Amino acid sequence: MQHSVNSPVRGKASRPRVLLVATHYPQLSQTYIKSELKALGEDYEIKVVATSVPNFEDPEHPPFERIENFQRMIEIVRSFRPTVIHGHYLVQARLLSALAAVTDTPFTIRAHSFDSIVTETRRPKHLDRLTAELDFEHCLGILAMPFTRPFLESSGLPATLIVDAPPVIDFHHFYNRAKNGTGIMNIGACLPKKRMEDFVDLAARMPSLEFNLYPIGYDTAKIAALNAERGGRLTIHEPRPFSAMPAVYKKHDWLVYTACPALKSVGWPMAVAEAQASGVAVCMAHIRPDLVDYVGDAGYLYESISDVERIIDQPPPAPMREAGFDRARSWDIKTNIHLLTDLWASIPDRAESAARRSIQRP
């Protein structure tokens, strides 16, 4: 199935070519891919390939082609002739490695939270297979959130292959210093690890305040039913596209990001930095110590919903709001995109080294 595939731009033949491979694309929650493509801008000729269908399609997706056949993917690589293959998620390591090996093309992977976090009760199976499946010869590097480095190193990845990289945030898409509304919001995939029932409970406890939930699929019906049982104090909205989200954030002065303290598998949510860039103060469940490094002094980490009641009953402190702007700006993809492109820039050096080794062989 073809979806307005990217075509080469005449007059810019010298631009490096990137084949971006994504699964479940274009998922509504995959705004990080959209922001990454935007940050790469006109410096690269990029072709996007999806290997499976999304659960909740992004209505504003960039052009892409869906290919679920490996042989067809090989044909795409050989016809497009990318400088590098780039993929998202460690669960794609086997596919990207096989594609790189067959076509002799270097590749990179941007890992995320769900595919990297190890807890007392959860260890993703693909981490046990990672070193066996990864083509180290062609892999330029794996971008991973800093707090996941120990998990990846314990899985056998060399420290030198891992590049510490923050979540992909388009700061300027959300940056707005105007006065915010007074609502309280929560947002994200409606999964058990997000424990959105806590947000329902919070809304029921504080009937004088406006609570808005922007869930994406999964257990949304279950949360809606619970909300009805608790008096319907929470307004549940349909998912919003990326272009609409800046206006959504500006209607609120608090983001309460709930998470399950038992599962501990929520990572560093993009919504936290997006909210901070929008002038929204953040209150997030303190499920792991590393969240201090992410939220910093630009928000609160709570231990119980009772703590949240006391916090959000007042307007956000002005210094915290200012710290939020600075914190979000530091995660901006435009500032951090070099962590990826520096790996790509190393390709000529790697090729020269390989050529020298070949010449030196007896």
**Tokens linked to 84:** 């590098």
* Fold exhibited by the domain 171-330: Rossmann fold (3.40.50)
* Fold exhibited by the domain 2-166+334-346: Rossmann fold (3.40.50)
pLDDT in tens, 65-101: 999 899 999 999 999 999 999 999 999 999 999 999 9
Least confident of 39-43, 320-324, 337-341: 39-43
Q: Are 109 and 92 in contact (CB under 8 A)?
A: yes
Q: Is 60 exceeded by the pLDDT of residue 237?
A: yes
pLDDT in tens, 184-219: 999 999 999 999 999 999 999 999 999 999 999 899
What would the mean pLDDT of 211-234 be, rounded to a whole number?
A: 97
- The more confidently predicted of residues 277 and 41 is 277
Q: What are the start and end residues of each CATH 3.40.50.2000 domain in the chain?
A: 2-166+334-346, 171-330
- pLDDT band at 149, cuts 50/70/90? very high
- pLDDT band at 348, cuts 50/70/90? confident
Cα–Cα distance, 309 to 69 (Å, whole number) = 52
